Every structure is written in structure tokens, then in C-alpha cells.
């Protein structure tokens, strides 16, 4: 595996993360994204190995969200290639995109729910839309795991920021996805809640899930590094670079 750092190719380090030739769940190859007013991301090449844990950092407006959106096929690269589960995103039909999303759990900073449905139903949405069902026991267990058992019947507008983030995480993982992508998941919550969310993500990673988190929070990254091997990507000057040594 490798990562493109500006003009030169830099080898990744850390066994199992960026070793060339390894299987990748998501791969970028010379990918770029242009919003029309110039390139936001340029010449991005990297591969996310199964079971890896990555943080993505960078200044506001640097393209973190754009990068994540390309990683779950919300945006198509304007140049280069992105493959998700070995499928080129540009060739995916709309049903294929839906199928890919069922294998990727996404948590946004501004979590959106169906406000007219209770929290428990919202958490089950991925199952509902794919025609699957979950047992009450499994659902209760998940609610307990994210600490929201007492709010199963609550409507989303009545939830706090932290509760919404945990509910979003529960919704993201209920299908047992291979990858979890989170965009600033701790942006609206206090430190204590951030640690709680991080613990949940670390647990998921230990279960074999690939985790990709965009965050500004260096303390969160340090905290994660203490618990689990992680790699930090930094977006700088439209390119993705490997960071982490200075953290």
C-alpha cells in the first residue's frame, strides 16, 4: 500500500495498513475533485485496508468532507478513480450505490434522522430499507450499547447532540457494515461524550470494522492512539499526506 504525498510517492508504514498489493475496501487512485472553482482535492492515491483505523485531519474547507463523500460514493471524482469494495464508483448504477451504502455506515456531524419516527425505528432504517428485520433483543442490546435504552421511543428532535451522535452511530452499524465513516462525530459533543463515542468506534474496530474519521480534535486522535493502532491522514494543499508522527 502506498500514499501519494504531493509530488513524490511515499511508502506507507505500519504493517497491514498501506502495504502495496493488499486488499483494500476503499481505494483512491490519482483521484481529484473539482467543484468548478478550482481543484479541492488533487492526485489522491491511497488504499484503506480492511480492519484499519484512520483519522483524517486538515483545516476547515480543505476537503475532508468531500474526501469522505467520495469514499461512500456520494460524490464522484472529477479525475482519477475511486473503487469501493473493488468496484469503480463511476460505473455504479443507482441500485449499486444503494448496495454499497449498506456496507458502509456513515455518521455525519449534522446527523439527520426521520423526525417523525421514534429513535428505535430510525436506528433500524438500514434494515427496514433492505427488507430485513432485527429481533427486539438485538435492538435492545444495541440501544444499551450506545446508552440510549431509555430513549427508544423518543423522537429525534428531542435528543441532545451527544444522543444524536450515538444514535447515528447505532444506525450506522446496525447492518454490520464493513466500513464506518464518520465526519466530525464529536464536533457537537463535550469531551466526555467524545471519549464515549471513541470507545464505541475503537470497539467496532476491534471487531474488524474499517474506521475512517474526519476530525479537528487532536486530543481525540492522541486518545485513540493510546488504545489502538491508528494512522492519521492530513489534507494539505489539496493533497492527502501521512501525518501522525508529530501527534
| Chain residues that interact with other proteins, rule: CB under 8 A | 73-76, 94-95, 97-102, 106, 112-117, 121, 125-126, 128-130, 171, 175
**What's the min distance (Å) between Cβ of 69 and other proteins?**
9
Residue 106 cell numbers, joined:
456513515
**What's the min distance (Å) between Cβ of 103 and other proteins?**
8
Give the three-class secondary structure for 198.
helix
**What's the min distance (Å) between Cβ of 116 and other proteins?**
4
The C-alpha atoms of residue 22 and residue 16 are separated, in whole angstroms, by 8
Locate all alpha helices (DSSP H) within the chain, ordered by sequence.
64-71, 94-101, 119-123, 125-129, 136-145, 161-173, 191-206, 218-227
**What's the min distance (Å) between Cβ of 129 and other proteins?**
4
Q: Which is nearer to other proteins, 23 or 116 (CB)?
A: 116
**What's the min distance (Å) between Cβ of 214 and other proteins?**
16
Q: Which is nearer to other proteins, 181 or 220 (CB)?
A: 181
Contact yes or no for 113/154 (Cβ under 8 A):
no
Q: Which is nearer to other proteins, 158 or 219 (CB)?
A: 158
The C-alpha atoms of residue 78 and residue 67 are separated, in whole angstroms, by 12
Contact yes or no for 165/197 (Cβ under 8 A):
yes
Give the three-class secondary structure for 35.
coil
Q: Which is nearer to other proteins, 106 or 193 (CB)?
A: 106
Q: Which is nearer to other proteins, 63 or 126 (CB)?
A: 126
Amino acid at each position: 500500500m502506498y500514499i501519494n504525498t504531493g509530488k513524490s510517492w511515499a511508502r506507507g508504514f505500519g504493517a497491514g495498513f498501506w502495504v502495496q498489493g493488499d486488499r483494500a475496501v476503499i481505494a483512491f487512485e490519482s483521484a481529484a475533485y473539482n467543484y468548478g472553482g478550482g481543484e479541492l482535492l488533487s492526485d489522491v492515491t491511497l488504499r484503506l485496508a480492511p480492519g484499519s483505523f484512520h483519522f483524517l485531519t486538515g483545516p476547515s474547507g480543505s476537503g475532508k468532507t468531500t474526501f469522505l463523500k467520495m469514499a461512500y460514493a456520494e460524490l464522484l471524482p472529477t479525475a482519477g478513480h475511486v473503487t469501493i469494495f473493488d468496484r469503480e464508483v463511476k460505473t455504479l448504477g443507482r441500485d449499486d450505490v444503494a448496495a454499497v451504502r449498506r456496507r458502509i455506515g456513515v455518521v455525519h456531524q449534522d446527523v439527520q434522522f426521520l423526525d417523525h419516527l421514534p429513535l428505535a425505528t430510525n436506528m433500524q432504517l438500514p434494515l427496514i430499507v433492505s427488507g430485513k428485520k432485527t429481533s427486539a433483543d438485538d435492538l435492545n442490546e444495541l440501544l444499551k450499547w450506545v446508552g440510549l435504552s431509555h430513549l427508544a421511543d423518543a423522537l429525534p428532535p428531542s435528543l441532545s447532540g451527544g444522543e444524536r451522535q450515538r444514535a447515528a452511530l447505532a444506525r450506522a452499524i446496525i447492518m454490520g457494515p464493513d466500513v464506518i465513516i464518520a465526519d466530525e462525530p464529536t464536533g457537537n459533543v463535550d469531551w466526555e461524550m467524545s471519549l464515549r463515542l471513541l470507545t464505541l468506534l475503537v470497539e467496532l474496530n476491534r471487531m474488524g470494522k474499517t474506521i475512517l474519521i474526519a476530525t479537528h480534535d487532536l486530543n481525540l486522535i492522541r486518545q485513540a492512539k493510546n488504545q489502538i493502532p491508528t494512522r492519521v491522514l492530513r489534507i494539505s494543499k489539496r493533497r492527502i499526506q501521512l501525518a501522525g508522527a508529530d501527534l
